[in-house]
Amino acid sequence: MKIGELALRTSVAPSRIRFYERIGLLKVVERQANGYRSYPEDAVLVLQLITTAQKAGFRLDELRALLPDELAAWKHGDLIGTLRRKVQDIEILQVQLAGNRAHLLALLAQIEAKPADMDCAANARRVLSEMQLGSRE
């Protein structure tokens, strides 16, 4: 199939398909005598895997290491290990984000607790000094 049909079937722009080919993610492309790209049916699956994996948080360099030259050559154990590591990475990130959220909510509460007779600059100094005292403990 030509790139236009592949783009329609996968909802991936032709420029993105060429980019994936250029960086080595899409390896199943053949060139016809006239220079046009010709993609086998597997290209649909590969592009769907790439877009799904990106939505799940995989970076392109991770995908390059994960995707085999041929889908039939996928090593089950390696795939499971990679997916488990990605889940662990996400869990670590969730803990970090929860800490960031808690810190921001505490900061917001301090800023909102501005006494009515205090101007914003004085309140900022108050909040910053409380933050500095808290970081020393």
Kindly tell me if the per-residue pLDDT of 135 is higher than 70: no
- What is the amino acid identity at position 102? A
Q: Are 67 and 46 in contact (CB under 8 A)?
A: yes
CATH fit for domain 1-74, picks 3.30.420.40, 3.30.70.20, 1.10.1660.10, 3.90.1280.20: 1.10.1660.10
DSSP state of 37: E
58-84 mean pLDDT: 83
All residues at 6 or more sequence positions from 11 whose CB lies less than 8 Å from its CB, including other chains:
51
Q: Which of 72, 50, 70, 69 is nearest to 61 (CA)?
A: 50
97-107 mean pLDDT: 93
What is the pLDDT at residue 137? 60
pTM for this predicted structure? 0.67
35-52 mean pLDDT: 90
Instruction: Domain ranges for the chain, please list them.
Output: 1-74, 89-137
Q: What confidence tier does 120 reach under pLDDT thresholds 50, 70, 90?
A: confident
**What would the two tokens of residue 64 be?**
């390059």
What is the pLDDT at residue 34? 84
